[in-house]
A and B are shown apart, each in its own frame.
Chain A
């Protein structure tokens, strides 16, 4: 894992990477259990952000529907945990809603591997289907974004409406153990943290590989000039659909890990507002950089935790202001600002000509 990571970038970057990773691995030693679980939650969300960056930063397709994919993964995991917690009896909310037997589609979630598989496959399939029906018809840009937003709206309506199957507004709660380990015990917290960290690194490496491959090149080309790519004989729709499906799968994984950290999933976590907040993580960190997505997700969620604790009214002002600021003044996010500063410093220090722009023009 480390070696693959070390293959990319300059020596200085390699060292920085190694130091960051080692620090992340040592975090459980110095951190309290509460903070560690919080950090693990942010890292789980960062997995989703990487996937979102893949489709937005590299594919040029803005999805406001990632809350749905996240939620599907989360519900898959929660259904498994709930069935384990209920044992042979019916999950409590089904009883309250007057169901007498377990719905057939709940049955597969009795087994952990199947639940795990479905938590990845369901969001990927949904993303694939939506992408298939839209990209193929050249429904792009804003139209697609609006369709994804509608997808969120109807999914939330459906999940709230089908209370007997999904727990309604409350979502699925009331489970606190996996494989017999209590979710909030110290050992489980640390184990979950390491699992989340490992999955995050794997997801990052996977996406790094994807964007560096031919596939990623075509994806980027389609972002910058879809028709030209089409004239060259490629089918941009296929590339976008696959990238969107992969992005959905990553969101599903993030949802599963999130449920393990938090112990609840409800429609309010997959609604329109969370979905668009996810986009802000990527925008603030810097789209089209992958690592920016991770930074943005962790920074913004940490900020949200801090600000909502101290001044709950203020969060909406902060996030609203951030949307405006990021779009107007830092279109390439924190990573873009960092690169800009580095470039300025270099230019001042050396007389040697430094190529001004390594970045590709961004046309959305």
Chain B
């Protein structure tokens, strides 16, 4: 029983990280049909932004302030990643709308350059980020069941981000414009929405969430130039499984993959577990080829 509860918690924790990474992807993929392969590198940028913030705190701030650095790093990581994502959209992605496979290749190239850039600036070896003291330790539920604070914090963080996204997309006027562009770009344009500005904005938000994901990943382990590539394929699988267009699909996709991954890995091995998850996803797509939740459309090529 203890074992099972722990596994469930682990699954939930993995799901939350996957969700955080896939959220940004789902936003850009769903809205603009752009496959952003540089998303992983935006995660990396968020992680390094946290690292730099920590170092600045160590160098310039009083010792007692160190523990709050992580709270400061979150908006910084969001801002830096969002800025770079926005630049990327203006310079490159803007020319690739309607060509999803081309956008995949071009952004992959950008990702490679960003990786090499990080390697040049910060060096190839991984660097460690020490997490603030208030996140060490764990919450004891019962004997033998301890939930680490770090994981709990990440789950809470994801919930907050998700709530903000929900409020933004469904409760604000710019979110409504975003949905309008997503569902029918030309019609939205006809009604006076500046689709260009919406695109740039959306891409920046998606990238910013990647930055937050990077910030969260520093709690889990050391960070390096290829940090993002570990998670990017899994995150894309979440988007494919969840279906494009609705937040609830991404949430279900992340929960499904995270939980099944943990389950399979417990009862088989890590490598076989991955194979099983993949087979399950392909099998699931036989039943629902567009993913769990997809916006209905009658359009045909």
- Give A contacts to B, CB under 8 Å: 62, 130, 133-134, 137-139, 141-143, 145-147, 149-151, 153-154, 157-158, 160-162, 225-227, 272, 276, 279-280, 283, 313, 316-317, 319-324, 326-328, 331, 364
Contact = CB atoms under 8 A, between A and B. Distances in A.
B271 A317 contact: no
The DSSP consensus for interface residues of chain A is: helix
B35 interface: yes
Contacts of B104: 62, 142, 145
A161 B271 contact: yes
Given A139-B289, A150-B278, A324 B101 contact: no
B233 A272 contact: yes
Interface in B190-244: 229, 233-234, 236-237, 239-240
Contact of A327 (B106, B239, B275, B278): B106
Contact of A151 (B229, B278, B301): B278
A62 B282 contact: no
B112 interface: yes
B102 A226 contact: no
A145 B37 CA distance: 12
B106 A146 contact: no
B116 A157 contact: no
B285 interface: yes
B167 interface: no
A150 B110 CA distance: 21
B278 A142 contact: no
B135 interface: no
B105 A162 contact: no
Contacts, number: 125
A139 B281 CA distance: 13
Size class of the B contact interface (CB-based, 8 Å): 35 or more
A327 B111 contact: no
Contact of A324 (B29, B106, B233): B106
Contacts of A142: 29, 33, 35, 100-101, 104
A326 B286 CA distance: 35
A149 B237 CA distance: 10
Contacts of A133: 282, 285-286
A141 B237 contact: no
Contacts of B136: none
B271 A157 contact: yes
29 contacts: A137-B285, A137-B286, A141-B100, A150-B281, A151-B278, A154-B275, A154-B278, A158-B271, A158-B272, A226-B301, A227-B300, A227-B301, A272-B233, A316-B112, A316-B116, A319-B109, A320-B108, A320-B111, A320-B112, A320-B116, A323-B105, A323-B106, A323-B109, A324-B92, A326-B105, A327-B105, A328-B96, A328-B106, A364-B100
Interface string B99-134: 111111110111111011001100000000000000
B233 A149 contact: yes
B177 interface: no
Contacts of A328: 92, 95-96, 106
Contacts of B103: 327
Given A161-B272, A323-B108, A327-B109, 15 more contacts: A133-B286, A134-B282, A142-B35, A147-B240, A147-B281, A153-B234, A157-B275, A158-B272, A158-B274, A161-B269, A226-B301, A276-B108, A316-B116, A320-B116, A328-B96
B58 interface: no
